[in-house]
Amino acid sequence: MAGRRRGSGSSAVAVCLLLASLTGCAGPSAADTARGQVQRVLDARAAAVLRHDPAAYAVTGVRTPYTNLKSLPLAAWSYRVTALRLGGGRATAEAELRYRISGYDTAPVTADRTLTLSTTAGGTWYVDSERPAAASAQQLWDQGPVTVVRGHSGIVLGVGQGGGALRGYAALADHAVPAVSDAWGTDWSRRIVVLVPASLDGMAALLGSPAADYRGIAAVTTGETGGAGAPGGTSRAPADRIVVNPDAYGMLGTLGRQVVLTHETTHVATRAHTGRATPLWLSEGYADWVGYRGSGRSPDQAAPELQRAVDAGQVPTALPADRDFGFAGDATRLAQAYEGGWMACRMIAAHWDEHRLDDFYRAVGTHRERPGAVEDALAKVLGTTLARFTAQWREYLRAQLG
């Protein structure tokens, strides 16, 4: 009996040692415990945002950024702790924020955030600050209190902007959305989100790029492309954002403002059919074609830089390359690239028809890769080759701009 008891005890020790090596008999580490506690604090913080409960939010820590984003209509808001650094009763948490604007986003926006926390006397974690993670773009509320203006077809979110200015953007959106649907069709959300920061610097911060890259650019659209045939493509519209540069936008006339917003809205509508195979001359040219459609603007009015080149006998020898569309490059080259893409799409609509132009755009986007995509769509939809199409486009430039 005694021998069996000693043997049983030895076996128990061996089993415990084995379990310790496999699972850690000592239990979770302090870091694991802290990470779980921080995650629960952030979960409570997210729930308070969704309930629009400032008191519950304040219990979890500093009141900003809630005071800046409290006007946002949110369908989802959550944090996921991805890393945690501890030291001296303080913690720095790296977290992924995911959120959706109610009624507009069918897929979440994701943003990497850095939060600093400290513990109270009772050992409860408390958020001291939240900011964009290193090398990550700002969110609009990082720049100040967000003002929300709703239109029939879009929602405008602004910082440092008066209500009248934001209502003006909403009116432009209400014109742009049906104009795009009339050209492209209705197989998209037909709702847009427009972000209007206070300045060019604010726009650049939202895009995570230097302000110099967007000087003179009135607006850009953000969102993940994913053609229907591309790997990772999805039928769900991503959470696109039209980001305005108020400095450049303010210099435009009434028609220019409408063309720009309609152009950017076109990118939202065509996003699901735009992929790696889609060249920029087609995606940007098509967006300009929709923007100018029905405006009465003639080629010499809408393509002045390209007209000057044609008048000088410098007709482009090839369709614009993607590298020609770089914002930080030569301004004349950039303008000619946009104008050349617009003229190519205008030619397709005129010589084939508008429906064929739409079909061509979709056909290019079904390809997984760039090589052969345009050539295949030209053959199947327009019954031509790239060489013949390019020659026809060059003659079209001479006829329309010469």
> How does pLDDT run across 49-64, given as a tens digit for each residue?
999 999 999 999 999 9
Q: Could you give the CA distance from residue 54 to residue 39 in angstroms, rounded to a whole number?
A: 19
Start-to-end CA span in the chain (Å)? 110
Residue 269: closest CA among 207, 204, 178: 178
Banded model confidence at residue 35, pLDDT cuts 50, 70, 90: very high
Lowest mean pLDDT among 86-90, 122-126, 186-190, 324-328: 324-328
Q: What is the pLDDT of residue 365?
A: 96
Average pLDDT, the chain: 89
Q: Residue 312: pLDDT above 90?
A: yes
- pLDDT top residue among 216 and 72: 72
Q: What is the pLDDT of residue 396?
A: 98
> How does pLDDT run across 77-88, given as a tens digit for each residue?
999 999 999 998
> How does pLDDT run across 132-162, given as a tens digit for each residue?
999 999 999 999 999 999 999 999 999 999 9
166-178 average pLDDT score:
97
Q: What is the pLDDT of residue 327?
A: 74
Contact 341, 282 (CB under 8 A): yes
> How does pLDDT run across 241-253, given as a tens digit for each residue?
999 999 999 999 9
Pairing status of strand 109-119 against strand 90-101:
antiparallel
Q: What is the pLDDT of residue 143?
A: 98
DSSP letters spanning 216-260: T--EEEE-----TTSTT--SS----EEEE-HHHHTTS-HHHHHHH
Q: Residue 237: pLDDT above 90?
A: no
Burial of 56 (0-12, 13-18, 19+ CB in 10 A): middle
Q: Which amino acid, 315?
A: V
185-209 average pLDDT score:
96
Report the percent of the chain where pLDDT is more than 90: 82
171-179 average pLDDT score:
97
Q: What is the pLDDT of residue 231?
A: 32
Other beta carbons within 10 angstroms of residue 364's beta carbon come to: 26
Contact 69, 50 (CB under 8 A): no
Q: Alpha carbon of 316 to those of 30, 151, 298, 393, 395: distances in Å?
A: 66, 42, 20, 10, 10
Burial of 25 (0-12, 13-18, 19+ CB in 10 A): exposed
Q: Could you give the CA distance from residue 115 to residue 113 in angstroms, rounded to a whole number?
A: 7
Contact 12, 32 (CB under 8 A): no
26-39 average pLDDT score:
79
Q: Residue 14: pLDDT above 50?
A: no
Q: What is the pLDDT of residue 326?
A: 85
> How does pLDDT run across 87-136, given as a tens digit for each residue?
988 999 999 999 999 999 988 999 999 999 999 877 899 999 999 999 99
Q: What is the fold, at CATH topology level, of the domain defined by 144-274?
A: Zincin-like (3.30.2010)
Domain covering 30-136 assigned CATH 3.10.450.50 in the classification:
yes
Contact 347, 359 (CB under 8 A): no
Structural domain boundaries of the chain? Answer: 30-136, 144-274, 276-402
345-351 average pLDDT score:
98
Banded model confidence at residue 18, pLDDT cuts 50, 70, 90: very low
**331-351 and 354-365 are packed helices; what angle lies between their axes, rounded to 10 degrees?**
120
Q: What is the pLDDT of residue 224?
A: 59
